[in-house]
C-alpha cells in the first residue's frame, strides 16, 4: 500500500516498501513532468528530521521569517503565549488593522506543528474585524513566546508497542467576557504521538460547566470517530476502544447514563452523540483530575509552571532531545496502562 499526499503541485509519496514508492513515482513521471527531491526534508514550510528513534517536524525557518516580518526578531522572550489576566476590550481601535490581520493569519499556519499556543491564536483571531491596541499587544506576546521556544516541534517516536488512541477533552466555561461562550479543546494521541488537537469557541452559550464539558466531549467523540474510520481506510485497526478522558464527573455521568433526561432538556440534541458512542462501545470515557488534564492548554491562559508542565506531556520536543531519544513519553504510557 502506497499513500500519495497532494497539495497543488507538491507531492509526498510514502509507504512501507521503497521499491513500491519508486514504482509509483516512475508511473507519475510518465503522466507529467516531475522532479524527485528524494527523502522528505521540507514540505510547505514544515521541516522534517528523522532518525532511528522517530520523526521530528518543526517550522523553525518559518518562525524566524515571521519574527523578521513582524519586526520582533529582537524582542524580549517570554515564558507563556498569553497573560493569565483577561484581555482589555476597551482600549482604542487599532489604526493599522491590516497588519494585525496579516500577522494573525501567519500565526494560524504555525499551529500545524505547535499545539502549545493554539488557544492563544484562536483568541486573537476572534478580533480580526475590529482589533484594538490590547489585542495587538496579545499578538506581540505570542511572538515573544515564539522567540523563547523557537526550536520546539512535534516528535513522532518509532514504537513497536500497540498504537492505542487516547483523547483528552476540556472546556473553559463562559470564558469569553463579551458573549459568555465557552472554549472547547481536545488533544488526541495515537500511541505516544499527538496527531490531532483543537481550540475552538463553542457555538452556543452553555448554562453550566457540565454542559460546556459535555459539548466538548461530544465534539471530541466525533473527531475520534473520523480518525478511527481514517485508520480503517489505511488498513489499521486500533487494538482497543479509544479512551476519552475528562475532568468533569457530571459530564461523564451524562455520557454514560441516558436516564438523566430531566437534567438535559436544555442541551442540544446534537451533543447527545457521545451517549450513543459510549453505548455501542466505540468510545470509553474516563475521569482525570484537572491537574493532569492535557487539554487545559487548548482552553485557557495558564500560569508559567502549569503551562510548561503540560507542554512536557505533549509530543513537543527540541530536535536535540528528540533525535537522541533522551525523553521518554512516560505520561501517555501511564494513561495507556
Q: What is the pLDDT of residues 262-297, one digit of tens each?
A: 556 667 666 788 888 988 899 999 999 988 899 999
CATH of domain 161-336: 3.30.420.10
Q: How confident is the model at residue 258 (pLDDT cuts 50, 70, 90)?
A: low
Mean pLDDT of the chain, nearest integer: 88
The angle at the Cα of 39, spanning 36 to 45, to the nearest 5 degrees, equals 90
Local structure of residue 288 (DSSP, 8 states) = -
b (16+ CB within 10 A) / e for 38-61: eeeeeeeebbeeeeebbbbbbbee
Cβ-based burial of 17 (10 A; exposed 0-12, middle 13-18, buried ≥19): exposed
Q: Residue 322's pLDDT is what?
A: 60
CA distance 234 to 231: 5
Listed in order, the ranges of the chain carrying CATH 3.30.420.10 are 161-336
Q: Is 171 helix (H, G, I), strand (E, B) or coil?
A: strand
Average of pLDDT values for 3-15?
92
Tens digits of per-residue pLDDT, 208-233? Answer: 888 899 999 999 999 999 999 999 98
Amino acid at each position: 500500500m502506497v499513500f500519495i499526499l497532494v497539495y497543488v503541485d507538491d507531492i509526498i509519496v510514502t509507504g512501507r516498501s521503497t521499491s513500491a514508492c519508486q514504482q509509483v513515482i516512475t508511473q507519475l513521471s510518465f503522466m507529467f513532468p516531475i522532479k524527485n527531491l528524494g527523502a522528505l526534508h521540507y514540505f510547505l514550510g514544515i521541516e522534517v528530521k528523522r532518525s532511528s528513534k522517530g520523526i521530528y517536524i518543526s517550522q523553525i525557518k518559518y518562525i524566524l521569517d515571521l519574527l523578521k516580518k513582524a519586526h520582533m526578531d529582537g524582542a524580549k522572550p517570554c515564558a507563556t503565549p498569553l497573560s493569565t489576566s483577561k484581555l482589555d476590550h476597551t482600549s482604542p481601535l487599532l489604526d493599522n488593522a491590516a497588519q494585525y490581520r496579516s500577522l494573525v493569519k501567519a500565526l494560524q499556519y504555525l499551529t500545524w506543528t505547535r499545539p502549545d499556543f493554539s488557544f492563544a491564536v484562536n483568541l486573537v483571531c476572534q478580533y480580526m474585524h475590529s482589533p484594538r491596541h490590547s489585542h495587538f499587544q496579545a499578538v506581540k506576546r505570542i511572538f515573544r513566546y515564539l522567540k523563547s521556544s523557537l526550536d520546539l516541534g512535534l516528535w513522532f517516536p518509532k514504537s513497536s508497542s500497540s498504537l492505542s488512541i487516547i483523547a483528552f477533552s476540556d472546556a473553559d466555561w463562559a470564558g469569553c467576557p463579551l458573549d459568555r461562550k465557552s472554549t472547547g479543546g481536545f488533544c488526541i494521541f495515537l500511541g505516544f504521538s499527538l496527531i490531532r488537537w483543537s481550540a475552538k469557541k463553542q457555538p452556543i452559550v452553555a448554562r453550566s460547566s457540565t454542559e460546556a464539558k459535555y459539548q466538548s466531549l461530544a465534539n471530541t467523540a466525533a473527531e475520534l470517530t473520523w480518525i478511527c474510520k481514517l485508520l480503517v481506510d489505511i488498513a489499521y485497526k486500533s487494538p482497543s476502544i479509544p479512551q476519552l478522558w475528562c475532568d468533569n464527573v457530571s459530564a461523564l455521568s451524562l455520557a454514560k447514563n441516558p436516564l438523566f433526561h430531566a437534567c438535559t432538556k436544555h442541551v442540544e440534541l446534537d451533543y447527545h452523540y457521545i451517549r450513543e458512542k459510549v453505548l455501542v462501545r466505540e468510545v470509553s470515557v474516563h475521569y482525570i483530575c484537572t491537574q493532569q488534564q492535557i487539554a487545559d492548554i487548548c482552553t485557557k491562559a495558564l500560569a508559567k509552571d502549569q503551562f510548561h508542565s503540560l507542554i512536557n506531556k505533549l509530543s513537543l520536543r527540541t530536535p536535540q532531545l528528540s533525535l537522541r531519544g533522551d525523553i521518554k513519553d512516560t505520561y501517555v504510557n501511564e494513561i495507556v496502562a
